[in-house]
Each structure stands twice: as structure tokens, then as C-alpha cells.
Amino acid sequence: MLFINTLDESTGPGGLVAAQTQTPVTDGELLDSYSRTVISALKAVSPAVVFIQVKSKAVKKSQSLGRPGSGGRGNDQERGGSGSGFLFTPDGYIFTNSHVVHGADEINVVFSDGREMPARLIGEDSHSDLAVIQTWAPNIEPAKLGDSSKLSPGQIVVAIGNPYGFQSTVTAGIVSALGRTMRAQSGRLIDDVIQTDAALNPGNSGGPLVNSRGEVVGVNTAVILPAQGICLAVPINTAKFVAVALLKDGFVRRGWIGVAAQNIPLSNRLRRFHQITNGGAILVIGVEKNSPSARAGLREGDAIVSFNGSVIDSVDDLHRLLLTVQSEQNCPLVVIRHSELVTLSVHPDLKS
């Protein structure tokens, strides 16, 4: 049981006297407060969450039985799938996962009020497992996007989606860890992934991960099996700049340097010593063989503080800058290595 201090004010001959008393806070009241937090987040976002149904045609070759003309002919066989997504603009643009809509010939979305609408694919990026689709969504308030860089381990988060087709399912948990890496289906590493224990199941893919203020901080994307309570989400800051590229071109063209990294803080002493303005840096935890980073001499344990003349505080900063580089550029890469400032020259590959 917790106690809250209050002031009991009374007047007497000496004037106003404040006597401190203690008001007990019961476990039930604490649980009610937690419930109100989850309910508030759910109310803020759930109208914008959609159930996505996809259909695609697969060609199934018939088996030859020795009859003329039977070999090599195909039969169209329709396949279906489902997932989640959420509206993030008033004009019907929806975030979801690339693996939910990849290869779809037909996409339909169902809103929480039961309305079903057709949707079209705007673009997808398999390297971040993100996609944007668009539908007609009148009178529906889009979800508010938050700032995933402000997340902290232990923070309450709420996941909303449609696991196994059960629409508008809500689960709650905490941010278990930040700065994880996950390999996308394309084989590329997704950096700075959010780990949460909010329960996710197949069908939650593409749904929002929401903070206690009702702001979307991540796009739910994966469950680690057979583990219990290890679920992953792509940070909303990553999704924001991917969306800009998808809305502009329908695909993401980015510079690639072949490095896996995670966010780290920098001490005031280190910043003053090197006379840099960084609030943080990114620690290199892996360098791919024969990659631009490997050719430039980047090593595991280096802390990247600047790329192409711009300060690097987080993995999101590096991702954002790699979207702007051209393949013919030689980009200066400044790192802290064994307390020394080292400048390398990296030549990014351009990939889409």
C-alpha cells in the first residue's frame, strides 16, 4: 500500500496551521489508474486501426498425365491473408507491414465501425518491412504519431491489432528494450527495433504500438518464436521517413554502407574533449564483409558521431541521411575509436 501526503489546513490563534496527513492509496486504485491509461490510449487510436484482408493469385501447374496439351498449363488459385494497419493521414493513407500486402492483387480494409473499403498499394519497403496503402476513410480521425526516440525501457505501451482475425484486440505491456536489430525478409538488418512484451500474434502485423498518451510509437512487425513475450516493432520515426519516400516515389532508394548499430549516450566529458555537439552516438556492433563500411575501415566498437558533415545522434539520423546520398558520393564518416576522433571516407552503394 502506498501513501500520498496531503495538507490539512486549520486556523487557530496563531493563524493558519498546516498539518501533514497521509492518505492511503490502495492496490485497487493503482490498478484502476493503469486501466484508465490503457483505455485512454485505446480510445485515442482504435478508430484509426483497420483489419486488412488481401487476396493474391498463385499459378499452380497441373501435373502431366501423358495427355497432349496437359503439361505446362497453369490454373489460377486464389490465396488470402490478413493483417493490421492504421490510418495516419486524413486523406486515407495507412501504415502496415510489407509482408502483409506483398504480392497482393486485391486489398480490402475493415474499420472498427464495420465499414469495408477497397484499398490500393502506394508502395512498400521490404528492407524495413513497411508499406503504405490508401483507402477512402471519411470522418475517421487518423492516429497521432509520436516520437520513438523519447521511449524508455519500462514505459507502458499498448498494442492494437487483429490477431487471427479477432478485430480490435488490445494488449498492454512495457518497452522491454530499445536498439534491437531484426533481419527483414529481404535479408537486410532493421536497426533500432523496439522490443516489447505486449502480446502479439499473427495478424497483429502492421498494427500500432501506442504510448500512454495515445501516440503511435511503433509499427508491430514480428514475434520471436517459440519465446514468450518477445515481440518487436519498427520505430515510428523510421516509419515517418520511409513514408515520405513511398508517397513520393512508391519505393525507397537508400544509400547502404553495411553496418549494424545501436544508440548510445555520450558523456559530457567526451563531448567537451572532442568539442562535438552530439547528444549521443551510434555504436557499431557489426560490419558486413566487402561492404562500403568494411572497405572504409570501419570496425566493431567504433562510435559514429558524424556522417557526410551532419551530426549523428541516433540510428534514425543515419537512416535519414542515407536516404539523401548519391551512389557516386564519397562521404566523410567521423567515429570515436579508443577515445580518439577518426575520420574515414565511405562510398555508399545505392539500393532500392
Catalytic residues: 99, 129, 205
Task: List Cα–Cα distances, 7 to 16, 19, 53, in angstroms.
Answer: 12, 6, 57
At 24, the amino acid letter reads: P
Residues paired with 5 in a beta bridge: 22
Quote the CA–CA distance of 166 and 26 in Å, as a whole number: 34
Phi/psi zone of residue 47: left (φ > 0), alpha (ψ -120 to 50 degrees), beta?
A: alpha
3-state secondary structure at position 204: coil
Quote the CA–CA distance of 129 and 165 in Å, as a whole number: 21
Quote the CA–CA distance of 210 and 38 in Å, as a whole number: 9
DSSP 287-340: E-TTSHHHHHT--TT-EEEEETTEE--SHHHHHHHHTT--TT--EEEEEEETTE
Quote the CA–CA distance of 33 and 157 in Å, as a whole number: 14
At 345, the amino acid letter reads: S
Contacts of 153 (CB under 8 A, 6+ apart): 174, 175, 176, 177, 178
